[in-house]
Amino acid sequence: SKYRAVLDALDDAAAAPKDALRRAKLACHLNLAATAILADRDPAAALFHADQALRLDPDNTTALLRRADALARLARFPSARADLQTAAAIFDARRDALALDRTTARLD
């Protein structure tokens, strides 16, 4: 697929800035996980790519949700539930941070 080709090219692009490479790889793995679930109906492949995405960004809620979907399709329900709880905690923390930023901005 085109995402696999991009990943191969990124592995060879050692001269590019590391953060740009990490973001591009993350996007590819997230898209491959989604494709594996929706089009290929291959939860094992989705799990692999979600895991790869989480290695690049452990707090990525999209990767956590895709991995939870793959785990549920593989009948690994406790692990799926744990990923959903982690994603919810990250969402809550971000919402709290946004609320704090808004409150702080009003005080300025």
Task: Say if CB 58 and CB 89 are below 8 A apart.
Answer: no
Distance CA 71, CA 64 (A): 10
Distance CA 40, CA 34 (A): 9
pLDDT for the residue numbered 101: 80
* pTM of the predicted protein model: 0.79
pLDDT for the residue numbered 88: 94
Q: What is the mean pLDDT of each run of 10 residues along the chain (108 residues)?
A: 76 70 92 93 97 97 96 97 95 85 78
pLDDT for the residue numbered 50: 98
Distance CA 30, CA 63 (A): 6
Task: Say if CB 33 and CB 46 are below 8 A apart.
Answer: yes
